[in-house]
Each structure stands twice: as C-alpha cells, then as structure tokens.
Amino acid sequence: MVCCRCVAALTSLGGLVAGAVLWPALADSLSHTYKILPGEMVLAGIIHNVQLIVSIEIPTLYMALEANDMCLWSVLGEWVRCVFLGVLPWSEVCHYLVLVLLLGPDYTIYFLVALVKHLQDTIIKQASSNKALVLLQTSVINGWRAGEQLGFMEALCRRHRRTVLPALVKPLNL
C-alpha cells in the first residue's frame, strides 16, 4: 500500500516544473526527443544561476573561488543530483523539498546560495589549499537551518526571480 503511494507520488512529480528541478534524472527519463537531456539542461541552469547570484550577492566569496580556481559549482551540482541526501541532516532535506514544492523551483537556487553563504568562512579559509572541496564532498553540513535563512532566500527571490525562473523552465518547453 505504501509502495503504491510512493510510486504514484514519484510519477506525479514528473508533471511538475519543480519535479525536474528536484530530480533532474526524472526529467531526462520522461523525454526521449532531445539530443541534450532537459534534466541536465535544468541542472546547468541551476548552477549557472547560483554562480551569477553568488557573484552579485557574495562577491568576496566569488572572487576567492575565482582566484583559487576552485570549482565549487560541480559540488553544488552533485548536491542537487542527490537532493542533499548525505549532505544535510534529514530534517533539512525535508525543508528543501517543501520549499521547492511550495514556493517554486527557483528556490533550489536561493537555497544553494544561502547554503554557500552559510559556508562562506569555511570555503574562503580552505580555498587556497582546495581542502574545502574535499570537505564539502565528504561531510554532512551541520548547523544549517533553512528556516533561519528563509528571509535571505525571500530577498533573493524578490531580486532575481524574473531572471531565474524563466531560465529554469525554458529547457522544459513550458
């Protein structure tokens, strides 16, 4: 009974814009007509927009990343692919899912920017030795509370939604 409900929920997720953002591989499995899979295009759009917003909103961090040739963006892509499982505590993974489903697929980007801002000191401190990437790839991030960052995410949404949201849905032909 529970298994049937899970299958039904996952199947219906594919019909939502947020579904492609929460689970890029699902968007790919639903499409057979593209040379470049839409889930990968959505994921690339997420990473591009996070990079753009970090450069505007947290320029010190962005410059530190650029100066040290640190590719944080690939780590963020992996986090999105795994829906933050093993990256954040389970309660925060649930908060992420609810934020994106209720507030819109662009909240994935604002969530990532807020998370990177939370980790800014650690990243800058470790940037020159590239230990930050290993740390971010192998450690659970403790101390992060999405609820505490909601004001920041809402401010990002007000400033950037007109640019971010169309870029996310365009690969899905919506």
Is residue 170 pLDDT above 80, yes or no? no
pLDDT confidence tier of residue 122, bands split at 50, 70 and 90: confident
Contacts for 29 with CB less than 8 Å, ≥ 6 apart:
none
**What is the value of pTM for the model shown?**
0.82
21 and 42 Cβ atoms separated by less than 8 Å: yes
Task: Summarize the confidence of residues 22-32 as an average pLDDT.
Answer: 55
More confident of the two residues 46 and 68: 46
pLDDT, mean of residues 10-25: 60
2-172 CATH: 1.10.472.80
Q: Domains of the chain: which residue ranges?
A: 2-172
Residue with tokens 């057979």: 32
Give the pLDDT confidence score for residue 77 in this predicted structure: 86
CB atoms within 10 A of CB 21: 27
Residue 34 vs residue 154, higher pLDDT = 154
Over range 2-11, report the average pLDDT.
Answer: 58
CA-CA distance, 153 to 163, in Å (whole number)?
A: 15
pLDDT for the residue numbered 27 = 54
- Please state, rounded to an integer, the average pLDDT across all residues of the chain: 80
